């Protein structure tokens, strides 16, 4: 059985969002399972030294906002730059771990719904009530989820997940790992697919 | 007459090298002239705050070295990571300006020859004698070129070129500007070609 694809993502990362809309089809085309691996980029950046792309040097910040929309349009993914950006989506990120334990079939739909709420509908998914409302729209019990994201096991689980990613060498998002090979960026998906289809190059 | 494509590059930038092997074919396919616009990334980074990709956080530095070779292989460009890297290729960069004035037909061939010397043959193109030797192999008089890169007009010309790029918002390499739209990275060449072929998206 071929190894699954590890897909590391952060809810505040536009390039992770774009890649999230394409990675399942790649996995399906090649009979691979997909592991959604949530990150908190703010924690990763404390080790790896990065900063949000829209903070810092003005011309670069303006360029990337243009590039988010253009790169999304290039692959046919809807994009509207959020009015509050970047965010720290701790509740939504913990919710992914809770769903992986309690309702695994909802993991993919929930991730897509959170991303589209943020990057298309301009809903502030850093706010827990917004996350619970998105969950409810998917038929997930918002009270159970609200309790779940406060569980100590889930909090510790997310911390361990992020630390494990950093130990593995993850420094940004999206990061895709397949058969031990690491790829960084939505713009590496063609390389990911080639690697899966025909092996190392 | 359609506007030319501005191609900003640095001789020490692997992704600029990869893009340099593809950009002429894109320009030719769409009847566009190509402006080779040399940068000194070290000067750009003083304004824009960047650092060489291989300096800093270890896992990222190791990743990008792997990505340089893999991304080159993905588009069929030969790549061997230079044993001295990064470099500041001031003489080679000034030589581009001198050739643009004196021997414009040699500009493209010289740029390709310098890049291949550095990224395939592992010659240290930061050394002026290596640059003159590469020029001689192309039939350019090395004594004339050696004098040319010491001309005050060429030195000032390069300084002005880099400052103009920074004023335009260039913060990294390669940067491609076409019809007022800016693209950063060899991985945006498909977007560049689409923009030229069918307009804004």
Nearest CA in chain B to A69: B201
The question of ipTM being above 0.85 is answered as: yes
CA A78 to chain centre: 16
Give the distance from residue A161's alpha carbon to the nearest chain B alpha carbon, in angstroms: 17
Give the distance from residue B76's alpha carbon to the nearest chain A alpha carbon, in angstroms: 10
Is the CB of residue A80 less than 8 Å away from at least one CB of chain B? no
Contacts of A190 in chain B (CB under 8 A): 74
Contacts of A182 in chain B (CB under 8 A): 63, 66
DSSP 8-state class, residue A129 = H
Give the distance from residue A13's alpha carbon to the nearest chain B alpha carbon, in angstroms: 18
Distant-in-sequence contacts of B141-149, Cβ < 8 A, 24+ apart: B144/B102, B145/B95, B145/B98, B145/B99, B148/B94, B148/B95, B148/B98, B148/B102, B149/B91, B149/B94, B149/B95, B149/B98
**DSSP of A164-187:** HHHHHT--SSSEEEETTEEEESGG
Look up the pTM and report it: 0.96
What integer is the mean pLDDT of A179-200? 97
Query: Which tokens hold the place of B136?
Result: 């001689």
Is the CB of residue B73 less than 8 Å away from at least one CB of chain A? yes
A53-98 residue pLDDT tens = 899 899 999 999 999 999 999 999 999 999 999 999 999 999 999 9
Is the CB of residue A45 less than 8 Å away from at least one CB of chain B? no
Nearest CA in chain B to A172: B60
Along chain B (201 residues), what's the average pLDDT of each consecutive run of 10 residues?
A: 93 98 97 97 93 92 98 98 97 98 98 98 98 98 98 98 98 97 98 97 96
Give the distance from residue A187's alpha carbon to the nearest chain B alpha carbon, in angstroms: 6
Supply the pLDDT for residue B51: 86
Extract the runs of DSSP E, i.e. beta strands, from chain A: 5-9, 34-38, 175-178, 181-184
Supply the pLDDT for residue B62: 97
pLDDT band, residue A158 (cuts 50/70/90):
very high
Query: Which tokens hold the place of A140?
Result: 């997930």
Is the CB of residue B175 less than 8 Å away from at least one CB of chain A? no
A2-54 residue pLDDT tens = 899 999 999 999 999 999 999 999 999 999 999 999 999 999 999 998 888 89
pLDDT at position A1 over 80: no
Give the distance from residue B141's alpha carbon to the nearest chain A alpha carbon, in angstroms: 40
Rounded to 5 degrees, φ, ψ at A19 are -65, -35
Supply the pLDDT for residue B4: 97
Residue contact B59–A170, C-beta within 8 A: yes
Supply the pLDDT for residue B58: 94
Give the total residue count for chain A: 201
Question: Looking at the partner chain, which of B48, B57, B70 has a beta carbon nearest the beta carbon of A191?
Answer: B70
Question: Strand order of the sheet with strand B181-184?
Answer: B34-38, B5-9, B175-178, B181-184
pLDDT band, residue A179 (cuts 50/70/90):
very high
Residue with tokens 């030294």: A49
Supply the pLDDT for residue B50: 85
Is the CB of residue B201 less than 8 Å away from at least one CB of chain A? yes
Residue contact A63–B169, C-beta within 8 A: yes
Give the distance from residue B169's alpha carbon to the nearest chain A alpha carbon, in angstroms: 5
Residue B142 zone, left/alpha/beta (φ > 0; ψ -120 to 50; rest): alpha
Supply the pLDDT for residue B1: 65
Nearest CA in chain A to B198: A74
Query: In whole angstroms, what is the distance from residue B10 CA to residue B17 CA?
Result: 8
Could you tell me which of B110, B112, B86 has the C-alpha nearest to residue B96?
B110
Residue contact B185–A190, C-beta within 8 A: no
Residue contact B70–A184, C-beta within 8 A: no
Residue contact B57–A49, C-beta within 8 A: yes
Residue contact B71–A191, C-beta within 8 A: yes
pLDDT at position A148 over 70: yes
Residue contact B73–A182, C-beta within 8 A: no
């Amino acid at each position: 059985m071929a190894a699954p694809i590890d897909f590391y993502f952060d809810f505040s990362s536009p390039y992770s969002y774009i890649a999230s809309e394409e990675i399942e089809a790649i996995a399906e085309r090649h009979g691979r399972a997909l592991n959604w691996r949530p990150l908190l980029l703010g924690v990763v950046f404390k080790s790896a030294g990065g900063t949000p792309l829209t903070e810092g040097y003005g011309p670069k910040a303006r360029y990337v906002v243009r590039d988010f929309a253009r790169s999304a349009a290039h692959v046919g993914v809807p994009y509207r730059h959020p009015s509050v950006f970047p965010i720290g989506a701790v509740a939504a990120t913990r919710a992914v771990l809770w769903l992986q334990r309690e309702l695994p079939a909802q993991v993919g739909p929930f991730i897509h719904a959170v991303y589209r709420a943020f990057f298309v509908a301009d809903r502030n998914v850093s706010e827990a009530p917004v996350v619970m409302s998105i969950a409810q729209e998917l038929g997930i019990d918002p009270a159970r989820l609200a309790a779940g994201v406060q569980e100590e096991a889930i909090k510790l689980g997310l911390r361990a997940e992020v630390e494990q990613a950093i130990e593995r060498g993850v420094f940004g998002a999206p990061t895709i790992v397949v058969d031990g090979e690491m790829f960084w960026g939505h713009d590496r998906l063609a390389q990911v697919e080639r690697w899966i289809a025909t092996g190392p190059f």
